[in-house]
Structure 1
């Protein structure tokens, strides 16, 4: 609409004559986007989308007419935007009372959506976890992975839940096998087929078909940040080398293409090149053959199915059609040789692709998305024992706090951004989560104290102490006709879910009982609501799992060299559901929950489960035996 209508002289004259026009970036003001998207659903009984065109009453800020896309001229059964402008103008001037009445009805409907919350509800039990698992099995696609039909989005929250289920002590082995199959097949199919960029790395936004073959070619940082973490976790569980390749390829794309000079990541890459969907990414067979030598071409031809029909507008969008091992065997090559030929070929294709016109990059340095990315990179660094990933995560964490956290307030963008807005719930919760992850990479007491300060402000500004749960917007966000609580996942996990998780973890680590109490109350408040919205509250269900069975936390105190050895062994032997913090003996002024974990002249380990901790272990052999036993119990 920006190109078609807003830049059109006749249309823009009508807009300026009749209206005060505000063009809003939904990522800069997600609070407004969420309110008006839900309002659209209430008014039309249809799912929302972007662009979103909203006409609001200037006195109440309540919407009275909402649509999505309107063309420059009437087509597709839609009126032109000029017709809409004229119609809305006359309707507003002739129906003042009804507009006020309808706006009030929308506000009441938004308020009613939260009345299902029950502050007196019982705490959630394991039946909630099993109900979601049963639900996921019903919608699982056993042929292509993922859930449901087209369009298919990466089911990050569902896969995360399934991976956590593998360590659940109340789930039987048969169900764990099914959970593994569902997660494994989904990750495999997404990485093998067209959702994945086989030339450069990175996942596209979604697949337009059920088989993950043809994507919408936009690349979002938040998708890739979450996906690399899942591939890293599954690599640790399954030892599938392809998952490690995916992690390194995607993280390489992120640092090469998405990392700014400020050591924060850009938000997205557009789908279109010169207004042509996917123009940068697709190939003709002749192009590929001319770029490669004969051996390289033969490998790619069979591996990516270039000997089959084209799959995207008379061109090829690359996806694996035959296993490389099978291609190598047919061509009487070793797998190692085939891998080398494939890598050399893809390098040539990337060099050629870089010479084409490129899609635009959304260069906003958003707090919440960067925090998600830090968490993802940290998980990858631990799973792969990769120093480069560790360094990137730590540098990004430092930049995020340096640029986006000022005077004890977290902002959505750096200091120099044109639109300075205090962070929303997601920004606070995701940033605390990122700090907790980086503390596993390298202990920093100052970071821990920052996390505590952020958590305290999150509670002060967003928490509803009367009815439970966190509002998406804070007391600092003025001018909203409704403050909403969002318990549902969308492309990113629910802010309430992440808030509950970090408060539980911070509370147990530091001994702050008020953090744990708020997390418990949140889970109780939303318990009944979750039962009727299982699919939409998957991330909350993952937190329920952790609430019922707290993760083991290993706290090491000692000299740096000793800490590195013990921490390495911890990660090697305890593959799942364990957090390990290596705190140097020189660190002081620790919170109450940590100050009792003292250094005793030699390295010492404390293994904690909730508030219950083992006796200190200072013998390396005994520690290895404990880890081996614990790992066996977790299988």
Structure 2
């Protein structure tokens, strides 16, 4: 019997009509596996995942395949966005077995939850050296029934992997040296694609977290090549086909080096992280293009991805009617029919067409974006025509950590622009998060926040990812609007995390409720999101500087016990960690201001692009105190001349 029809997850319900006897992750399913002595098949994915849809259609909708799955296994379907703790664990298993991770993710376990095999996409027929899904099912069934010794080897290997991986955290402190940090930056910068922008020479993900590390490196070391790499990436985010040049918003990645063929899903966290990056880059460089696209993406999100409750949806699917990109791609015939002669001339001056699967085309922009071409009649006409097509489905799941990352992005955008609409949406989102994600369930002691807006709040307790992202976002929000209730809530969340997530070794668990049979490896690498261990420490560090209370520093030190040589060797994967190590060492720039002047600070001048803004009643109105490297200077200013006030301050090695 398929048990998914009553699940709230769009992804789980999309499998509810299949002949596979799917279970959601629950104790009943695990007990049934033990009682029937069948291995467990875990299938993890998410609703906007193109290859998840492909494998579902090719395999799970096939009657013979479904029969094999039902006869041989207890089949459990997981929405990775609902249960990132489980997905993280099974992804680690995949890597332990030397397999490349990704989604859909499939993992096979004994009834005692011992994993022994894992993989991602498998076709219905063998191809390109990859076995078919039916071959995998039959092979694992036979091994479980007749050759458990081989499975035991895999089980032992995975156990050893999890035990040895814990050694990444050591009690032997190795302090960061300036030369080490700069060497890591040089290593990262060498991976820059100087011809097309971004990192590497294959498919292009935005890579804004490592690019943010390069910006930090420029600020510390003054090497212009670091900033130039970030600017080149920012330009591609604005002009290439990864940005929806018609309606706005960022696609997930491009499948090619030249940024011309997108993978068309739109994830909320990508919108947030890219807006954050472009906002910071615009403040630093005073680029109108980066600011224009950040505001355009902001407009897209608030127009398209916001629910009636004021919170934001998880994603927009890559596929429409089972065809990837159908809502977005063009044909020459369409463009010929809908554009007048004059509009065709403007189109040719504005856009570049790229071939995509035969007659279909994608768009990138020829020139720097500005307010004029983003609001042009041509763009509006293209958008209106596209709106008549079938539209990609929206996963209306509302996730705490993703909304929190967006709240932080709105804060950075306001620092960059001083735009009143951004401030309005920022404040509204902040208070809606506090209202709707605050747990209303029967077990508030287990989680004061719920991860997902649901009719059953107790089903989705928030994870460290959620709390850390929320704390980091709220300390950013507090720097924009220093209201006491915001600060009080940050402190309450911090106390809860300390009591419920902190382990004996000083590290923090990702989940407060993970089954103890499923081991957790301490991780400081970033995923698609900033690492929650780092986000938490960054929030605590900021809270200390805002309040002056050293209590918030006491939880920070254990993260520095990581072997920094491993971090310096992997700057792309550990960008936010390295940024935090540098900030923890240097202290960054702190701007103290009188409460009466808070709203007058924005947009910030370039020198203060990443400064910590601290309300200080000891500062007189129309004065600032700027601190860096344990040195402070009082500056008398008029608000209208704030940028000129810092014109003699240099970004890079020079300080006041």
> TM-score normalized by structure 2?
0.83
After superposition, what is the alpha-carbon deviation per residue over 1:91-136, rounded to whole angstroms, capped at 9, x for unaligned?
A: 2122345534532331221121121322221322322320121102
Does structure 2 retain, via aligned residues, the 8 Å contact 1:575–1:631? no
| 1:417-432 superposed matches below 5 A | 420-432=459-471
SS in 2 for 1:319: strand
Are residue 413 (structure 1) and residue 452 (structure 2) matched? yes
Does structure 1 retain, via aligned residues, the 8 Å contact 2:438–2:448? yes
CA distance in 1, matches of 2:292, 2:357: 26
| 1:544-623 superposed matches below 5 A | 544-559=581-596, 562-565=597-600, 567-568=601-602, 571-572=604-605, 574-582=607-615, 597-598=616-617, 603=621, 607=625, 609=627
Are residue 86 (structure 1) and residue 138 (structure 2) matched? yes
Deviation at 1:417, TM superposition (A): 5.2
Q: Which runs of 5+ in 2 are unaligned?
A: 1-54
CA distance in 2, matches of 1:30, 1:19: 23
CA distance in 2, matches of 1:266, 1:31: 20
Match for residue 318 of structure 1? 363
SS in 1 for 2:167: coil
Match for residue 330 of structure 1? none
Does structure 1 retain, via aligned residues, the 8 Å contact 2:404–2:470? yes
Of the structure 1 ranges 1-10 and 503-512, higher mean CA displacement relative to structure 2 is found in 1-10
Are residue 288 (structure 1) and residue 335 (structure 2) matched? yes
After superposition, what is the alpha-carbon deviation per residue over 1:523-544, rounded to whole angstroms, capped at 9, x for unaligned?
A: 2434243133333211111112
Match for residue 522 of structure 2? 485
CA distance in 2, matches of 1:246, 1:41: 37
SS in 2 for 1:534: coil
Match for residue 305 of structure 2? 258
Match for residue 22 of structure 1? 76
| 1:186-335 superposed matches below 5 A | 186-306=233-353, 310-320=355-365, 322-323=366-367
Are residue 448 (structure 1) and residue 483 (structure 2) matched? no
Match for residue 649 of structure 2? 632
Report the count of equivalent residues: 592
Deviation at 1:623, TM superposition (A): 12
Match for residue 434 of structure 1? 473
Deviation at 1:355, TM superposition (A): 0.8
Structure 1 residues 626 and 579: alpha-carbon distance in aligned structure 2, compared to 1, 3 A threshold: same
CA distance in 2, matches of 1:527, 1:395: 40
CA distance in 1, matches of 2:525, 2:350: 40
Q: Which runs of 5+ in 1 are unaligned?
A: 326-334, 583-596
CA distance in 2, matches of 1:21, 1:607: 61
| 1:372-383 superposed matches below 5 A | 372-383=405-416
SS in 2 for 1:246: helix
Match for residue 387 of structure 2? 354
CA distance in 2, matches of 1:397, 1:203: 23
Deviation at 1:79, TM superposition (A): 3.8
Of the structure 1 ranges 430-439 and 516-525, higher mean CA displacement relative to structure 2 is found in 516-525
Of the structure 1 ranges 146-155 and 99-108, higher mean CA displacement relative to structure 2 is found in 99-108
Match for residue 151 of structure 1? 203
Q: CA RMSD in A?
A: 3.0
Match for residue 460 of structure 1? 499
Match for residue 167 of structure 1? 219
Does structure 2 retain, via aligned residues, the 8 Å contact 1:604–1:616? no
Match for residue 41 of structure 2? none
Match for residue 129 of structure 1? 181
Of the structure 1 ranges 366-375 and 85-94, higher mean CA displacement relative to structure 2 is found in 85-94
After superposition, what is the alpha-carbon deviation per residue over 1:213-237, rounded to whole angstroms, capped at 9, x for unaligned?
A: 1111111111111111111122222
